[in-house]
Amino acid sequence: MSTSILVIGRDGQLARALAALNTSNLNLVCLERPEFDLTALDLIPATLRRIDPGGVINAAAYTAVDRAETEQAVAYALNRDGPAALAQACAERSIPFVHVSTDYVFDGEKPAPYVESDPKAPQSVYGRSKSEGEDAVLASGAHAAIIRTAWVYDAAGANFVRTMLRLAADRDEIGVVADQFGRPTWAADLAGACIAAMRALMSDGQADRRAAQGVFHFSGAGDATWADLAEAVMIEHAKRGGKIAQIKRISTADYPTPARRPKNSRLDCTKIEASLGVRPRPWREALSLCMDEIHAS
């Protein structure tokens, strides 16, 4: 079997972060449509046979949370049906599979950080589509790791950090929700977690392979609200000479959205550290590194 790792996705935040890890010792092949179409279910087995990778990381997803409420068919095609077919094809060829999921599989009502075994109760189409995608991957029989994450950002994508910088260029004040709690995650760190899981799944050691299978949580270390993250973005931007805006703390009720957001998106990452040795980086430290990248571009 090949030692290459096929990454489904190329232009998304996680796919870009994975591509940046490509070295002579880590042969990543990043493909998206038309080269690899996750919605062309009948073609997935043949495409996988042709590429013949040693492992597969699914970094593709439908992530337009609010649009998913009215684009349900597309959301389910990319978040459930495609991963189900891909996992099944990987199972048939004994190819290790890493799949990325989300905090939106939970309802956000738990007062403490979520652990992997907590009951799922998604409150949106996006969350339900991702939850059902998880179930399909686990039912496929593939040697798979599912990594749930939250509040992902990078230097170039359409994400909260970039939105704050864009708004600050034109406004003196930005209203940001201060009653939703999570743990911001830099895409580069999430990519590292995915690679760690894949290396373990591809290991010659049976114990390593067994430890890497199942559901894991990974996010940045330390709690924050969206307003906390926005204020941190402004502080880092000001350090580098950028124009900033004041952050006005508002409630979820002040900023209604079509899809319901979890009040608590905090993910407990104890399991992935114990099983795979992946220690989350403090989110403020990761944000500073990302801001360096933004200002260097």
Between helices 283-296 and 160-170, what is the axis angle to 10°? 60
* Separation between Cα atoms, residue 165 and residue 283, nearest integer Å: 18
Q: What is the largest CA-CA distance in the chain?
A: 57
Contact between residue 190 and residue 149 where contact means Cβ atoms under 8 Å apart: yes
The whole-angstrom separation of Cα 116 and Cα 297 is 37
Catalytic residue among 76, 114, 126, 153: 126
Closest by CA to 192, choosing from 7, 14, 11, is 14
Nearest of 46, 39, 19 to residue 79 by alpha carbon: 39
3-state secondary structure of 216: strand
Token output for 230: 């926005």
The yes-or-no answer on residue 104 being catalytic is: no
Phi first, then psi, for residue 228 (nearest 5°) are -60, -45
Which residues fall within 8 angstroms of residue 145, CB to CB, at 6 or more apart? 97, 98, 99, 197, 198, 200, 201, 212, 213, 214, 215, 216
Other CB atoms within 10 A of residue 276 CB: 21
DSSP β-bridge partners for residue 100: 147
- Strands 28-31 and 5-8 turn out to be parallel
Question: Which two structure tokens, joined as six digits, stand for 193?
Answer: 């977690």
- Residue that has been written with the tokens 């399909």 in this structure: 136
Q: List Cα–Cα distances, 43 to 34, 40, 67, 247, in angstroms.
A: 11, 6, 27, 48
User: Catalytic site residues?
Assistant: 126
